[in-house]
Amino acid sequence: MSSFPPDSHAPTPPILPPKPSSQEPSRIGTPTSGAPPPPPSSLSEAGQHTTRAAEIPDPGDQWLPQVVQDKSKQDIADILSSPSLLNALTNSPQAIHPSLRASHAALSSALSSNIDLATRLLESEARLARQRSATQAQLLSMHALERQWRQKQTDMDTALARFSPAALYQLLAQSVQEQAAVCHALEESFLEDNNAAVDHGRGDKTTATATATGEREAADWIRRYREAKVQFYLRQERKERWDEGRVGGWR
């Protein structure tokens, strides 16, 4: 800073505040700390500004802006006594030091990156909320379909109950009994017809016509009785195979 010649008529200027020591930060010097570490997504942009700020050396506590180089001590004292004026002078485009300008650029880049990340985060949250709503709707729809399927399964089981293994086995056992009753009825009818024929033959003389009729009836009865017995044995055999567990797919 340039010196000023003494003026005997000028009032005595006030005593300037002591300069900060090298251990204390300068009030008008460039802050030594840089911008906060940028997020990972802003390393390519904000990192360049941080590197540039690190390349510019700190001017130290003796540096003064160019605009105050020709100011009087009174003007400098007024500036130092006003924090707002001092801050405006320190950060004005005409007086700011290049290292502080680079720090501001790095901070601005980091802030822009944070704003961009926050915007993308809000978009992700909105998209997640929409997906959650869609998933909830699909889950409710799935539960409704599950209830419908269970009702259909119940209706199907009811409709196919008569074709179940238990129902078929019961039907087979019943058919065996019914066929046995048919055979027994044929036997009873044969005995009754035979007794009636004997009684009739005792009262009347046996003729050739009666004999032929009796033979046809006997042959017809034998045929019907044989068919009934075959059906009975087949059903009984099926039931025995089922009882022994030789029917595949039912046990």
Q: Among the three residues 159, 181, 213, which one is the final residue of a domain in this structure?
A: 159
**CB contact at 8 A, 1 and 64:** yes
Are both 26 and 118 inside the same structural domain? yes
Q: pLDDT by residue (tens digit) across 205-227?
A: 455 565 666 788 888 888 999 99
- The CA distance from 113 to 25, in Å, is 29
Are both 181 and 229 inside the same structural domain? yes
The pLDDT score that the predictor gives to residue 88 is 75
Angle at 100 between CA 95 and CA 106, to 5 degrees: 135
User: Within the chain, what is the greatest distance between any pair of CA atoms?
Assistant: 187
Are both 95 and 182 inside the same structural domain? no
- Identify the weakest region by mean pLDDT among 19-23, 149-153, 224-228: 19-23
Are both 149 and 199 inside the same structural domain? no
- In SS3 terms, the chain reads as CCCCCCCCCCCCCCCCCCCCCCCCCCCCCCCCCCCCCCCHHHHHHHHHHHHHHHHCCCCCCCCCCHHHCCCCHHHHHHHHHCHHHHHHHHHCCCCCCHHHHHHHHHHHHHHHHHHHHHHHHHHHHHHHHHHHHHHHHHHHHHHHHHHHHHHHHHHHHHHCHHHCHHHHHHHHHHHHHHHHHHHHHHHHHHHHHHHHHHHHHHHCCCCHHHHHHHHHHHHHHHHHHHHHHHHHHHHHHHHHHHHCCCCCCCC
Are both 60 and 24 inside the same structural domain? yes
Are both 127 and 62 inside the same structural domain? yes
Q: Among the three residues 142, 159, 176, which one is the final residue of a domain in this structure?
A: 159
Are both 140 and 174 inside the same structural domain? no
Are both 169 and 228 inside the same structural domain? yes
The verdict on residue 82 lying in a domain is yes
The pLDDT score that the predictor gives to residue 24 is 44
The verdict on residue 251 lying in a domain is no
The verdict on residue 1 lying in a domain is no
Are both 42 and 66 inside the same structural domain? yes
The pLDDT score that the predictor gives to residue 152 is 95
Going by C-alpha positions, the residue among 88, 24, 103 that lies closest to residue 61 is: 24
Q: pLDDT by residue (tens digit) across 154-209?
A: 999 999 988 888 888 999 999 999 999 999 998 888 887 666 655 555 545 455 56
The verdict on residue 7 lying in a domain is no
Are both 87 and 122 inside the same structural domain? yes
Domain that includes residue 235, residue range: 162-243
The count of structural domains within the chain is 2
Q: Among the three residues 123, 139, 159, which one is the final residue of a domain in this structure?
A: 159
The pLDDT score that the predictor gives to residue 44 is 52
As a whole-number percent, the residues of the chain with pLDDT over 90 amount to: 32
The verdict on residue 107 lying in a domain is yes
Q: pLDDT by residue (tens digit) across 58-82?
A: 666 666 677 676 777 787 787 778 8
The verdict on residue 94 lying in a domain is yes
The verdict on residue 188 lying in a domain is yes
pTM for the structure as a whole: 0.39
Angle at 174 between CA 171 and CA 177, to 5 degrees: 155
The verdict on residue 121 lying in a domain is yes
